[in-house]
Amino acid sequence: MKKKTIFLVFLCLLFINKIEAQVNLSINSEISLITAGPGEELYEKFGHSALRVVDTTLNIDLIYNYGIFDFNAPNFYSNFAKGKMYYLVAKYDFKYFLASYKQDKRWLKQQILNLDLSEKQRVFDYLENNVRKENATYLYDPFFDNCATKLRDILQITFGNNIALNSTNISNNQTLRALMDQEIYWNTWGNFGINIIAGTILDKKRSQLSYTYLPDQLYNTFKYARIKRENVFIPLVEKEQVLLNFTEQATPLKITSPVTVFSIFLIIVLFITFKDLKNNKRSRYLDFIIFFIIGIVGLLLTYLWLFSSHTTAPNNFNILWAFLPNLWMAFSLRKKNVKVGVKKYILLLLFTLGILPFLWFFKIQAFPCAAIPIFLLLFIRYLFLYKYLYSLKKAIHSAHITNNPQ
């Protein structure tokens, strides 16, 4: 995949650096929305959207693609961690675009837009200005500024009130998280990761135009959209065509899926906790591992919330279970003689864990279903630790009375 990305970046830069001349489209020109089906990689799961410009008179067939990025770009991963994901828009021959999706066996649909020549020219000029080297790069956001939302914005900027994208055929008041869960199977690491790092911004109910961060939702929006012509609104899409007819592959079930992995950990913790309870002891290294890992996750979520530019990271109640102070508490629990006062801290953990079902039930924030074994694991171990420390305190108190009789 990296080789293909690098090739596309090279190809696009080649076009960008060409000397641009004013091109006037002919009456035989067409502008189409191209929608692609999902691919195998996580960043391909949403599908893809692009605009195609065809003019048989001028002998051009170009794709304008707002989804170009390069893994090997300088500081790509550090910029990603900071929430600064730089993408670029570029044009290149449609045959390369088509060949790429044919190779990946992803379906491709085309919606030819019902535009007159002047309207086509306005869209074309906007695209041509966008692909200029000084304008090509933009700050990507997977939910609010991506390859699909850019195309929605182009029509709104170009036509203003003369285009109606809202439709009663598309339901309103869905959340972006719920829509995302429909695209990425819930029991995958991709879905789990996105749901863990995303806060309440994805749980707000929104109108249908916000859904267009998903290419298939943009496809439906264009399908029912209207454009004003001589004071009358007519359909925006003139004709729909299937360019590549591949069947979407169902997400295969893997033995390394989140639920399987977390359930195995849950069983292990249950077994060790049962033995600890039976033998009235505490497995120190188990507690260290649990608290240390949970603390690391909490550190990551706190960093994304407070120090990154990711728009979805703030107000993330996953920090109630991925509790950052656990990172420090892990080293205290590794010691044989743990302070009895830690019992109050464990009680706090049980309290914060108990808040999660209420946040979920009242739809303040939805949590990944794959994380349920983690919640159970933590609840069981915290409850055991509270009981163990309570018994320890009782034993210390009894010993104190025995050694200091009145």
Tell me the pTM.
0.88
Q: Do 321 and 378 meet the contact criterion of CB atoms below 8 Å apart?
A: yes
In this prediction, residue 8 carries a pLDDT of 53
Q: Are 203 and 365 in contact (CB under 8 A)?
A: yes
In this predicted structure, the answer to whether residue 76 has a pLDDT above a threshold of 70 is no
- Which pLDDT value is given to residue 400? 47
The pLDDT value recorded for residue 386 is 93
Q: What is the pLDDT of residues 6-42, one digit of tens each?
A: 445 555 555 544 445 689 999 999 999 999 999 988 8
What are phi and psi for residue 32, nearest 5 degrees? -130, 150
Domain boundaries of the chain, sorted by first residue = 2-19+29-172+207-244, 258-399
Spatial separation of the C-alpha atoms in residues 117 and 64, rounded to whole Å: 19
Burial label for 51, CB within 10 Å (0-12, 13-18, 19+), is buried
**Angle, alpha carbons 154-93-38 (nearest 5°):** 65
Greatest pairwise CA separation for the chain in angstroms: 107
Residue 232's pLDDT is what?
94
Which H or E element spans position 233? strand 232-235
Query: Is residue 355 within 8 Å of residue 388, measured between CB atoms?
Result: no
2-19+29-172+207-244 is classed CATH 2.40.50: no
**pLDDT for the residue numbered 19:** 42
Whether 292 has a pLDDT exceeding 70, the answer reads yes
Q: Is the pLDDT of residue 339 over 90?
A: no
